[in-house]
């Protein structure tokens, strides 16, 4: 049996499990692992500027395609604690990432040694597994378990902590004999599928609510096939946006208090039956359960048993993989006479065409709605959008168009500021060909702005649209309930850039200083010109390009307290069809 260090065995296992890309920051306590990584040289490595950013890069990488698992690496102590936000963001959205940290020698644990922290205890609430490996011979089995856990049931992150003496210890390990564990994905029973179809047949105005679990199961095609066969309109959740193209006749629109379409809310309120699949009934989607559930029956299919009944009790709950359930529904529905849904589907489609929000503003400073109109004109529905939270994200969900699975990459539940930039870099590392467009408010952009240097160093080009209103815009808008505007202004007179007119940080200068290209836009009629320039720079220099768009300071974006009580702060458009 070959002998090697535990760290070398770990790298062999990573290769066997399909890892080809890592993001991280070396340090003394993880150097044996880095030495093993360098010796094999089959796993590419991107050097982050902040370990939290490395975790977000791994997250963006994992979201790029089914089966991807991003790897982030850090040393002992603060490197692990820096990763916690990244682990939380991944866990919240069911994203598998593997974090590996160095640790003090085993003999120094719990003795307040330099940078020795109990990271397994800290990380446990935001991971599927967090473990400090105390015996070198256990490392292969721990990694084998970790990959099976990340891929099975509801996916999620894992942290493995490696004391430096464990990494250096020699063990017997033959890479040729290593075998990944089988992944378990529960399937519904035939009786459960039959009951779903019976309930669907009994409904007059059904909808399918499709969540991120459909994407995780790589089941968007099966979803569309079932919706087409049954003639049932589809409401994607924010995490499921893209499972059905926005232009599809059965796309009913998104539902919610913020990231929603007027048509989606209206159709949900008119429905009498909802089939939820791979979704969580998140509160930004439902609002109050009383309003959301009144007058309609529910089936909930999810791979995680504890999700069934967590928010409200459905009329039927089924624990199953979304892909397996959709394939069985499709097979069972074929060859039988299904109820004619054409009138209901047409009503939903009419709402989608006619219940619009205005986006044609010509104001200077620029209104954000106009920005998204220009993005749709420039990128259509083909770009892969990356964003996290804030008014920029909420307005993007209301106005952009998405036509393909995984073309809306969003930290939906955790929404950590700073996530967008490193996630876009991780996505680019996974996908060298698509057009990637990141969307940030100025505050999100500033959180981990130093990672632009990573994009410049490692040639990870993408376009970053920064919507600058010099405000914490979403918090300002929520503070209206308290009649205040307190500690949310980012504006100041920049002594080095008086031409900014009080907008504060010179994002163009900072981006240029970090090795990237940047351009500022103040006129809405110049946005297309700026995007064309950004594309030219990407082709010429292969670095991130920042397009900063200076917005009016205060714009309230449509949102409300209930799905039947959304405040439209700007005029809406209700078209009348002949």
Active-site residue set: 25, 51, 417, 472, 475
Quick one: tokens of 92? 């919240």
Q: 130: closest CA among 113, 114, 149?
A: 149
Given a contact cutoff of 8 angstroms between Cβ atoms, the answer to whether 437 and 71 are in contact is no
Q: Cα–Cα distance between 126 and 207 in angstroms, integer? A: 33
DSSP for 375-443 reads HHHHHTTTSEEEE-SSHHHHHHHHH----STTSEEE--SS--TT-HHHHHHHHHHH-SSS-EEEEEEHH
Given phi > 0 = left and psi -120 to 50 = alpha, else beta, which region is 459? left
Name the residue with tokens 């397009």: 547
Cα gap 507→460, rounded to integer Å: 19
Q: For residues 456 and 403, what is the distance between their CA atoms, to the nearest angstrom?
A: 29
User: Are 247 and 381 spatial neighbours (Cβ–Cβ below 8 Å)?
Assistant: yes
* Rounded CA separation 136/167 (Å): 7
Pseudo-torsion of CA 187, 188, 193, 196, nearest 10°?
-120
Between strands 572-574 and 355-357, the pairing is: antiparallel
Query: Which phi and psi angles does 200 have, rounded to 5°?
Result: -65, -45
Beta strand extents in 143-253 (DSSP E only): 158-163, 170-172, 206-210, 234-236
Determine phi and psi for 498, rounding to 5 degrees.
-60, -20
**Which run of H or of E encompasses 99?**
strand 97-103
Tokens of 296: 């309609």
**552 close to 366: Cβ distance less than 8 angstroms:** yes
Question: Is 556 buried (19+), middle (13-18) or exposed (0-12) by CB count in 10 A?
Answer: middle
Question: What's the CA gap between 221 and 215, in Å, rounded?
Answer: 10
CA distance 446 to 514: 13
Cα distances (Å, whole numbers) of residue 518 to 55, 374, 543: 26, 18, 10
């Amino acid at each position: 049996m070959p002998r090697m260090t535990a760290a070398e065995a770990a790298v062999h296992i990573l290769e066997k499990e399909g890892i080809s890309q890592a993001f991280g920051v070396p340090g003394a306590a993880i150097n044996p692992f880095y030495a093993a990584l360098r010796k094999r040289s089959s796993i590419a490595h991107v050097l982050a500027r902040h370990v939290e950013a490395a975790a977000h890069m791994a997250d963006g990488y994992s979201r790029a395609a089914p089966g991807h698992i991003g790897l982030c690496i850090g040393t002992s102590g603060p490197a692990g604690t820096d990763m916690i936000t990244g682990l939380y963001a991944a866990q919240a959205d069911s994203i598998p990432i593997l974090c590996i940290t160095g640790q003090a020698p085993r003999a120094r644990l719990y003795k307040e040694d330099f940078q020795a922290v109990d990271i397994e205890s800290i990380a446990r609430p935001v991971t599927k597994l967090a473990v400090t490996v105390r015996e070198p011979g256990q490392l292969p089995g721990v990694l084998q378990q970790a990959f099976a856990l990340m891929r099975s049931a509801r996916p999620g992150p894992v942290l493995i902590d490696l004391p430096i003496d464990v990494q250096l210890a020699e063990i017997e390990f033959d890479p040729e004999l290593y075998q990944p564990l089988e992944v378990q994905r529960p399937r519904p029973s035939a009786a459960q599928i039959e009951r779903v179809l019976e309930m669907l047949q009994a409904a007059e105005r059904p909808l399918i609510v499709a969540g991120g679990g459909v994407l995780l199961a790589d089941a968007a095609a099966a979803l569309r096939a079932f919706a087409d066969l049954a003639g049932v309109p589809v409401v994607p959740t924010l995490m499921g946006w893209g499972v059905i193209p926005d232009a599809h006749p059965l796309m009913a629109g998104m539902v919610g208090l913020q990231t929603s379409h007027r048509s989606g809310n209206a159709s949900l309120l008119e429905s009498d039956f909802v089939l939820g699949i791979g979704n969580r009934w998140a509160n930004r989607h439902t609002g109050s359960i009383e309003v959301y559930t009144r007058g309609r029956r529910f089936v909930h299919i999810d791979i995680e048993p504890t999700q069934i009944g967590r928010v409200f009790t459905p009329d039927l709950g089924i624990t199953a993989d979304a892909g397996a359930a959709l394939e069985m529904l499709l097979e069972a529905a074929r060859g039988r006479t299904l109820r004619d849904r054409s009138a209901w589907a047409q009503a939903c489609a009419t709402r989608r065409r006619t219940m619009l929000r205005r986006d044609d503003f010509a104001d200077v400073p620029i209104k954000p709605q106009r920005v998204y109109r220009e993005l749709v004109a420039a990128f259509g529905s083909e770009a892969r959008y990356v964003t996290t939270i804030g008014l920029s994200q909420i307005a993007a969900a209301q106005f952009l168009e998405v036509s393909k699975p995984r073309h809306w990459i969003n930290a939906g539940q955790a929404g950590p500021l700073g996530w967008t930039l490193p996630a876009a870099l991780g996505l680019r590392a996974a996908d060298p060909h698509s057009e990637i467009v990141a969307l940030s408010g100025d505050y999100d952009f500033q959180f981990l702005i130093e990672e632009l240097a990573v994009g410049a160093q490692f040639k990870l080009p993408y376009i970053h649209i920064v919507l600058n209103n010099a405000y914490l815009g979403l918090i300002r808008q929520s503070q209206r309930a308290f009649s205040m505007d307190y500690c949310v202004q980012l504006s100041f007179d920049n002594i080095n850039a008086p031409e900014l007119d009080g907008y504060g940080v010179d994002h163009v200068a900072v981006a240029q200083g970090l090795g990237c290209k940047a351009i500022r836009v103040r006129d809405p009629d110049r946005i297309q010109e700026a995007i064309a320039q950004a594309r030219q720079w990407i082709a010429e220099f292969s670095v991130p390009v920042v397009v900063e768009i200076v917005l009016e300071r205060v714009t309230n974006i449509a949102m409300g307290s209930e799905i039947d009580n959304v405040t439209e702060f700007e005029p809406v458009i209700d078209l009348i069809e002949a």
